[in-house]
Structure 1
Amino acid sequence: MSSVEQFGYRQELQRSLGFADLMIYGLIFMVPIAPFGIFGNVFAVSHGMVALAYLIGLVAMAFTALSYAQMARAFPMAGSVYTYAGRGIAAPVGFIAGWAILLDYVLVPSLLYLVASTAMSSFVPVIPVWAWLVIFVLLNTVVNYLGIQMTARITRIMLVAELAVLAIFLVVGGIALAQGKAQTGALTPLFEPSSFTWSVVLAAASVAVLSFLGFDGISTLAEENREDARRLGRSMVAALGVAAVLFVVQTWVAALLAPNRAKLIEAGDAAGSAFYDTAAFAGGQWLSVLTAVATAIAWGFANSLVAQAATSRLLFAMARDRQLPRFLAVVDPKHRVPVNATFAVAGISLVLGIYMSTRTNGIGELASLVNFGAMFAFLLLHIAVVVHYLIRQRSRNFWAHLIAPVIGFIVLVAVVINQNVAAQWVGGIWLAIGLLVLAGSYLLGRRPILPTEVK
C-alpha cells in the first residue's frame, strides 16, 4: 500500500476498505439490474440486438478498466481520471479530464434520483416526484456522512437484494422460455443479419455503456483502500467482469421474451416500461411490479449512495489541489469523510433533480450528458497510460502500456462518434467552458500546479 505523503498530501481519509468492499462498491455503482431501466431504449436503438450492444460496451470498458488499473498502481490517490491525467501527463490536462468527468459524476446522482423518484411517484402518486427526491437525497447524505464503513455495509445488503430480484426474473424468464413464450430466435439478441450495421450497434453501445459507468468510481476510494494498490485495479476489472455477465444474461432473456418487438423498435420506449412489460408477459403483473420497484430502489438509494460518495471524493481531490474552491477539501474529523463536498453533491442533486423533473425529457437529457463526459475523460486516461509508462518510464510492457490503451482509445472514439448529436454539442460546450476556466487561471497567474511540482 503506497502512502499519499510521497505525493505531497496528508492521509486524512480512513483506510478501511478491502478488495471485497471495493468490488461490491463498483457493482452497486454499476447496478446489477441497471438494464431494467434502459432496456427499451437499448432494444430500440440496437434493433433488438441488446446482448450484442452490451458485449461491445464491455469491450470498450474492459480496455478502459485495464488503463485504470495501471494508473491506480502508479498514483494510488483519490481523484480518479483527474489524478491520473494530471500526474501522468500534466496538471492542466488533469484539470480538463477532471472537468470532463465532472459532467458524469456531478450529473449521475441527479439522474439516478430523478429516475427513481419518477418510478416511485408512479406507484405512490400521492407523494410527488420532488418529495421522493428530497427523501432519497436526505437518506443517502446521512449514510455517507456517517463514514465510508457505513456506506460499505449498506452496499453489501443492497447487492444481495438486487441479485435476489435478478435471480427471480431469470428463473421465471427461463420457465417462460421453456413453455415456448420466446418471441424470436435464440441468437437474435446477439446477431440479426437483416438489421446489423456497425452504426446501429455502436449507437446502441453508446447507450448501453451507461450501465457500465461506475467501475471507475472505485478509483476515487484509493485513499480509503487498506490493501496494496494493485488490489484496487483488480477490483475494478473484477467488478466489470461480473457486471458484464449479469447484463448480457438478463438482456438476452428479456430480448427473447419482449412482446411487440416491431413496435418497440419503431416507436422506442418513451415511457421506460419495456422491461417491466416483458416481466409481466413472462410471469405476471407481480413480476412487473417487483422489477420496477427494485429498479427504483437500486437507482435511487443504492446506486446514488455510492455515486454521491465517489463524486464527493473527486471534488475533494480537485479542491485539495486548489483547482476547485478550497472549502470542498474539508474533512470531518470524526467520520473522516469530505463533509463539505458530500453536502455540495447533495445540494446540486436536489436542485438539478427537481428542475429536470419539470422538463419533458429530463431523464434523457441527463443520461446523454453523463455518457459524453465519461467517454471524453476515458480518452485522456488512455493517453496518460502511454505518456507515463511508455514515454517517461520507458516501459517495455507494450501490451499494457501501448497496445491495450490504443485499442481502448479507438473503440471509445467510435462510440463517441455514434453518440446522440445533442449530447455531443452540449458536451462540447461544457469542455469549451472548461478551457476558458483554465485560460482564466493562467491569466490570473494561478495555473494548475500539483503539490510535488511546487518548488
Structure 2
Amino acid sequence: MPATLLPRRLGLADAILIGLGAMIGAGVFVAFAPAARAAGEWLPAALVVAAGVAYCNATSSARLAARYPQAGGTYVYGRERLGAFWGYLAGWGFVVGKTASCAAMALTVGAYAWPAHARSVAMVVVVALTVLNRWGVQKAAWVNRVIVAVVLAVLALVVAVSLTRDRNPFGGAEPGSAIGVRGVLEAAGLLFFAFAGYARITTLGEEVRDPARTIPRAVPIALAITLAVYTLVGWALLARLGPADLAASSAPLADAVPDLAWVVRIGATLAAAGALLALILGVSRTVLAMARDRHLPTVLAAVHPRHGVPHQAELAVGAVVVALVAVADLRGVIGFSSFAVLTYYAIANASAWTLGRRVVPILGLIGCVTLAVCLPIESVAAGAAVLAVGTVVYAVRRR
C-alpha cells in the first residue's frame, strides 16, 4: 500500500459532474464532423455502436473501481488482475494518449477564445488549470459544476434553434456513397473519443467517498446523460446541415446557428476548458500510481500535505502539456487518442473478465479491438508505435 493516500472528498454529484465535464467537453464540439465524413447519414448508427462499447467499458471499469478504489484506474486493475506488464501498458497508453488530448483541448480553448493567439491562450489556460488543481480536488469539482451547467445550456439552445429551422440543402457530394460497415465502425471509433471521459471518475477512485457504492452509480449515470446529449446534438446537426455539410464543417455547431455563433464560441471555450480540467485530474492520478510503483520517477508520487493532491504529478503533466501545445497540431489527435484509450479499455475488460459475469467484459473487449483496428490507418500506426515504445522501455527497465 502507498504511504500517503489521497483524502476522500468527492461525493456522487461531484463524480457525475467530473465525468460529464470530461465527456461533453472532449467530444461534442470536435468529434461529429470527422465521424460524419466516415459514416455520412449513418452517423446515428455509429453513435449507438460507440455508446454500446462505452457502456461495456464503463460497466467493467465500475466493477473494478469498486474492488480497487485506488488512484490510477486501469493501470491498477491490469496490474492486480493480469500482471505488472498489462497494468503498465494500460497506464502508458492512458498517460501518452490523454496528455495529447490535454494539448488538443487547450488548443481548442485558444482557437475559440482568441484565434489569432491560440497557442499563447492555450498555454495560459494550462497553467491556470494546473494551479487550480493544486488547490484541491473539491475546488476543481466546483469549477467543473459551473462549466457543465453553462455548456449544457448552450447545447440546449443550439438543439432547439436547429430543430425549429429549415434544413440546409446538401452541399457537394454526399459522404458515404460507398459507406458500409467499415465506415460506421471507423466513425464509432472516432466518436468513442467523445465518450472516454468517464475514465476520469475511476482514476479518481481514491478520492471518492464510499467508492464501492458511488463509482458504480456515477459512471452509468454520467454515460447515460452524455449519450442523451450527444443523440440530441447529432440529430439536430444532421437535421440542420445534412451529412455532407456536417462532414465538411470545421465548426458544425456554429454553422448550424450562425447568428448565435458567439454563444457557441463561449460554450466551446468553456467545454474544452472543462475537459482539460478533468483530463489533468485523471492523467496526474495515473502518473501518481505509476510513480508509486517506480515506473515513473518516485518524486511524482508526492501528495501535498495541506491540499491532499498529487502536486508534483500535476506540475509534471502541466509542464508536458505546455510543451506539446507549443508544437502540436489538432489534426489526427482524435484518432490517436481513441486508439490509445481503446487499448486502455481493452485491458480493463480483460481485467474485469477475471472477476466473473463475463458477457459484458467479452463484448467490451471485442468492441475495443474492433473499433481500434477500424480507425484511420495513420492513427493505428501512430498508436501502435507509441505502445511499442512503451513496451521497449518496460523491457529495458526490467533487464
TM-score range, shorter chain: over 0.9
> In 2, distance between residues paired with 1:143 and 1:264?
36
Aligned twin of 2:332 = 365
| Percent of residue pairs bearing the same amino acid type | 25
Query: Could you tell me which residue of structure 1 aligns to residue 262 of structure 2?
Result: 289
**How many residues were matched structurally?**
395
SS at match of 1:129: helix
Q: Does residue 420 of structure 1 match 2:376?
A: yes
Q: Which residue of 2 aligns with 1:398?
A: none
1:275 aligns with 2:253: yes
Instruction: Report the AA paired with residue 147 of structure 2.
Output: M
Task: Pick from 115, 126, 129 the counterpart of residue 118 of structure 2.
Answer: 129
2: CA distance, partners of 1:193 / 1:145: 47
Paired position in structure 1 for 2:184 = 201
Question: What's the C-alpha RMSD, in Å, of the aligned pairs?
Answer: 1.9
Counterpart in the other structure of 2:239: 256
Q: How does 1:146-185 map to 2 (within 5 A)?
A: 146-176=135-165, 180-181=166-167
Q: 63, 66, 79: which one pairs with 1:86?
A: 79
Given residue 18 of structure 1, which amino acid in structure 2 is its aligned partner? G
Matched, 1:219 2:202: yes
2:87 counterpart SS class = helix
Q: Map 1:225-244; keep pairs closer than 5 Å.
A: 225-244=208-227
C-alpha displacement of 1:33? 8.1
1:344 Cα shift? 0.7
Measured after TM superposition, the shift of residue 151 of structure 1 is: 0.5
**What corresponds to 2:94 in structure 1?**
101
2:274 aligns with 302
Superimposed CA distance per residue, residues 273-309 of structure 1 (whole angstroms, 9 cap, x where no aligned partner): 23311222xxxx2x1221133112210x211011111
Give the AA of the match of 1:312.
S
| Letter matched to residue 79 of structure 1 | G
Q: 1:141 to 1:183 in 2, by over 3 A?
A: same
Cα offset for 1:222?
A: 0.9
1-side partners of 2:145 and 2:81: how far apart?
33
Q: Does residue 376 of the first structure (1) align with residue 351 of the second (2)?
A: no
SS in 2 for 1:212: helix
- Secondary structure of the residue aligned to 1:363 is coil
- The structure having more radius of gyration, on CA atoms, is 1
Instruction: Give the TM-score, by structure 1 length.
Output: 0.83
Match of 2:359 in 1: 403
- 5+ residue gaps, structure 1, are 1-7, 185-191, 357-361, 391-400, 444-455
Q: Which runs of 5+ in 2 are unaligned?
A: none
Cα contact 1:64–1:378 (8 A) shared by 2: yes
Q: Is the 8 A contact 1:72 1:230 kept in 2?
A: no
Q: Which residue in 2 is equivalent to 1:448?
A: none
Tell me the distance in 2 between the aligned counterparts of 1:237 and 1:182.
35
Corresponding residue of 1:326: 298
Cα distance in 1 between the residues matched to 2:359 and 2:30: 35
Deviation at 1:224, TM superposition (A): 0.7
